[in-house]
Amino acid sequence: MNNAIIRAGIMITAWVVMSMHGAQAQDSRNVFVNLDKVFNEYYKTKLADAQIKKLEEEYNERMRDKVTELRAMNDQFVAAREMAQDTAVSEDMRNRKRGEAEELLIELRERETTIKEMEQTGRKELESELRRRRTRIIEEIKAEIQRYARAQGYQSVIDSSGQSLNFVELIIYADQRVDITADIIALLNKGSE
């Protein structure tokens, strides 16, 4: 009988502690924000993406021009090489065309190398610029979230857009009443129209 009373006392104590913990958790003022959604719907993200796209188009146009020049030079090389092998023309002409073809081949290889280096450098510069702009935008978003959270008296703001290493959402469920995503998007986009 004493064991039954002790077990009942332990169960009541556990229930009281869990109830108090639940009440404290509700009052803790922890909220969630979908940072991915905020980032994608922020007007500055869209502007930055448009600017990066324009830079990428300009880069692609320059690369197309370089490739067109390279093709034209390759055509000159092929023509010179064919004439150097044509027995219908004089030996002197074949020798001149052979020399011309060799010079064109050397220049062609040099330009190919230059274009490959330009492509690698250009891609790295575009990626770096994209990272810089996105980092700047994320910092602005985080600062706005922090200001908003302090003003509302929240203790913490948790990003609900994250995924585990198994590509499963870290936050399986959050009541919409504790999700501030729409509020943050509205604050960030205020006056942008």
pLDDT tens digit sequence for 137-172: 999 999 999 999 999 999 999 999 887 788 887 888
Residue 100: CA count within 13 A, CB half-sphere: 19
Which CATH number fits the domain that encloses residue 156?
Answer: 3.30.910.20
Q: Distance (Å, rounded) from C-alpha 177 to C-alpha 154?
A: 13
Q: Which residues pair with 30 in a beta bridge?
A: 156
In the predicted model, is pLDDT for residue 112 greater than 60?
yes
Assessment of whether the complete model's pTM goes beyond 0.75: no
Confidence of residue 28 (pLDDT cuts 50, 70, 90): low
In total, how many domains does the chain have?
A: 1
Give the position of tokens 């010179």.
80
Domain residue limits at 64: 2-189
